Structures are given as structure tokens and as C-alpha cells.
Amino acid sequence: MSKVPGLAVAFIILPAISQSLGPGDYSEFLSALALGSVFTLFFGGINAVGRRLLAAAYGAHNKIRQANIFITATSVAAAVALTSASIVVVSTAQSWSKSQFLLICLFPILSGFLNFFDNLRASYNEHYVTSIFLLIFQVVIYAAVYAIGLPKGGILTAGLALQSALPLASAASLAILLIQRRFLLSGQIEKVREVIYPAIGVTMADGVLSALLNLGVYWLAYMHAADMTPWLGTFVRLFQTFISPILLIFFPLTSYISMRWGNMSTKRQMQLLKFFLVTGSLYGVMVGCAMAYMGPIYMDREFKFAIRGDRFDVLALSLFMGAIIAQKTYTMLLYAVYDARFVSFGSAVASTFGISVAALSRLWLPAVRVIDVLFLTVGIGVLIVLITGDHRYRSTLSRTQ
């Protein structure tokens, strides 16, 4: 239910922000959000590893181990958040037309850090807590925007309207988590490498794909193709609305499976791996087709962009977004029960290859077409990695029977 009001982002919040800021500031607003979102890629690995380790300690009823993992993972996440924020401030402080855009850059980093604790709560299979708070904050904030509107030129107000619901919900959920389990604060930092090393592999796969999507938005503005930035940035925000349902369903399911994985038969484990890959791929195809057909219609109706993407832009984006959905769905299970090195590093290789091909194409293609080449190459590469990786994992399981 918490994801249902999120649809208001596509049909109420983004159009309201576009009207409030105007074409120029709206483009820079999306560019700032995209840049900040790029720096959240590091949280993906810490979230997955921290959740897996804490779920294992919880399943073993080891409170000391739970507390130590909580403190260790939190320390790593805090260090990542501070480092990321510092890099953003130092490297981009002078590049924005208005100082408020620098704060907009920091919103996704703050949200990513607080969302880390939602992943730790998931280790206890208690997803409903954050969902309830998120539903409340979304309804209140989005209803206020719908009823009152946004002030003209209100950059920070626009950022709060779009971004504040999740961090507020995460902060409230964290407070309750610590009230319920005060022993978590008694832990000590230990075995930092146990968190960092596996997290790097997850970051190279899951984080880099999302980062490339947001980096494309920022890169267009950086390459003086800012007229295309509002279209691409809005398309990306629309995609994030569509990816929510399957994440909402599968996220708690993987937590449940991870606590019982060791007691399952090999046949059952192979069936679950296949189910997640097939379901994620089918939903990715469905969303990709929906985005390809409905995305341009929605954009033309709700926004008045001077420049719009053509059919090739839509195709490249839709393929890449479908690949991201398939990868996220499948790896939600893998990261909960394995370190998933092959898929992690395979996705990193696919991303690196795509970046290299796109960089080479820059010699003769305009900036917009370079982004298309990047999305097409990485999207196809990731799908190949997922199919190959699934075959490897299920072959390994079959040999252990």
C-alpha cells in the first residue's frame, strides 16, 4: 500500500515541480538529483551484505553478533555517506547556477543512508513498519502539494516534496527499531572486511547499473545537452515508480527465504532461483514495453518539453530499464543467500564494456546518441550475464545433490 501514493509522483509531484521551477531550473533540478543518486550506489552493497549477515545472526539467536553487525555496518554506511557528501560538495559547489541545487544533490545521499536501516530491519522480516510510516508521510506531503501547490521558484520546497517522505519514514522506523532492540546499540565494530569486501561486489553490479541511469541525466547537462535533460530525467523518475511494485513484493520474500535457505532441499533452491529469474525477466519485459508505449504519451500530455526523445531513445531506455528490473529481482535472492560473485563482477564487466563502447562512439555521435549506445550495450550485456549466471548457480547446486 505504501507504494500506491508513490504513483502521485508521476502524475502530481513532477508536473507541479516542472510548473513551479520552469524549464531551466527543472532541468538543473533533475540533474542535481541524478548526481546525488549516483553517489548512493555504494549503499546498495552495504545494504545487501548487512541484511544478510544480520539475518543469519538473528536466525542463530545471537544477540551479541546482531549488535556487532549493526554497529559495524552502520559505521561503514556513515563513513560512505560522509565521504560521498564531501565529494559532491567539494567537486560541484561552484558549478550550480543557484546554491540550493547543491542541497538537492545531498538529498538522495541522506535518503540512501537512512534507507540502510530499513534493510537491516528487513533482517527481522518486519517490513510493514517502514511501509506504514511511508504511507502516512506520502499521503500528507502529496495531499498538501495537490491542495496548496508549490511556490514559484521554490527549489528546496520542490526537493522536499519529492524526496522527504522516504527519509522521514526511515528515521521513524529506525527510532522504533532501537526502542524495540536497545541491545543493538551495545555492539562493537568488528570484522569490517566482512562487510566491505562482499559489499564491493554487490556495488559493482547492482549499484553501478542504477548509477549509470542517473549519470546519463547528469552527463547530458554537463555536455551542454541540457534541453534533453528534463525529458530523460522525467523518464527515469517514471521508471522508478514502475519498479516499486516488484521490489515491494520480493523484498520481504527474500528475507523470509534467506532465514530458511539452509534447511531447503537442493531442488527447492534451484526452483526458487529459476522463479526469481523468470519472474524478474517477465516483469522487466512488461515494464519495458509499457515504458516504450505509454512513456512518450504521458510525457507529451503532462509536460511541455522543447525537445523530446525519439523512438531510438525510448527503445534504448526501455531495454536498459527492463534489464535493471530483471537484475534487481534476481539478485535480491542471490545477495540474500550467496555472495553472487559471478553476477556481480559479470555485471561490472558488462557496464565497463558499455561505457567503453559509448566513449568510443563519442568520436562521431552526438551526446544523446552516446547515451543510447550506453544503455543498449549494457542492457544486452546484463541480460547475458544473468542467464549465464543462473545456469552456473543451478549447475553448482545440482552437483551437490
Q: What is the pLDDT of residues 165-191, one digit of tens each?
A: 888 988 988 898 888 888 888 888 888
pLDDT for 213-265, tens place per residue? 777 777 776 665 666 777 777 777 777 766 666 666 676 677 677 667 777 77
DSSP structural state of residue 338? S
Statement: residue 3 has pLDDT above 60 = no
Q: How far is residue 24's CA from residue 18's CA, in Å, rounded to a whole number?
A: 9
Task: Please report where in the chains the cell 532541468 appears, as a residue.
Answer: 27
Residues listed for the chain: 401
Range 119-123 average pLDDT: 77
Higher pLDDT, 225 or 20: 20
**Structure letter (DSSP) for residue 340:** -
Q: Which residue has the higher pLDDT, 353 or 307?
A: 353
The mean pLDDT value of the chain amounts to 79
**Better pLDDT: 60 or 7:** 60
**How do residues 290-347 score in pLDDT, each as one tens digit?**
777 776 777 777 676 666 667 777 788 788 888 888 887 777 777 666 666 777 778 8
pLDDT of residue 2: 46
Phi (first) and psi of residue 304, to 5 degrees: -120, 65
Confidence at residue 86, expressed as pLDDT on a 0 to 100 scale: 93
Of 17-21, 58-62, 72-76, 214-218, minimum mean pLDDT range: 214-218
Rounded Cα distance between 336 and 56, Å, is 10
Sorting pLDDT into bands at 50, 70 and 90, what band is 7? low
Contact 216, 35 (CB under 8 A): no
Whether the per-residue pLDDT at 387 is higher than 70: the answer is yes
More confident residue, 61 or 258: 61
Pairwise pLDDT comparison (284 vs 68), residue with the higher score: 68
Among the ranges given (31-40, 126-135, 305-314), the one the predictor scored with the smallest mean pLDDT: 305-314
Q: What is the per-residue pLDDT for 193?
A: 82
Nearest to 205 by CA among 321, 51, 351: 351
Task: Give the count of beta carbons closer than 10 Å to the beta carbon of residue 387.
Answer: 14
Judge contact between 328 and 281, C-beta under 8 A. no
Cα 155 to Cα 17: distance, rounded to the nearest angstrom: 9
Q: Cα separation of 24 and 226, whole Å? A: 8
Model pLDDT, residue 83: 92
- Three-state SS string over 157-202 comes to HHHHHHHCHHHHHHHHHHHHHHHHCHHHHHCCCCCHHHHHHHHHHH
Percent of the chain with pLDDT over 90: 5
Is pLDDT at 4 greater than 60 in this prediction?
Answer: no
**Rounded Cα distance, 220 and 228, in Å:** 7
Q: Could you report the per-residue pLDDT of 391-400, keeping only the tens digit for each?
A: 777 777 666 6
Percent of the chain with pLDDT over 70: 83
Work out the average pLDDT over 369-376. Answer: 85
Please give the average per-residue pLDDT across 137-160, as a whole number.
88
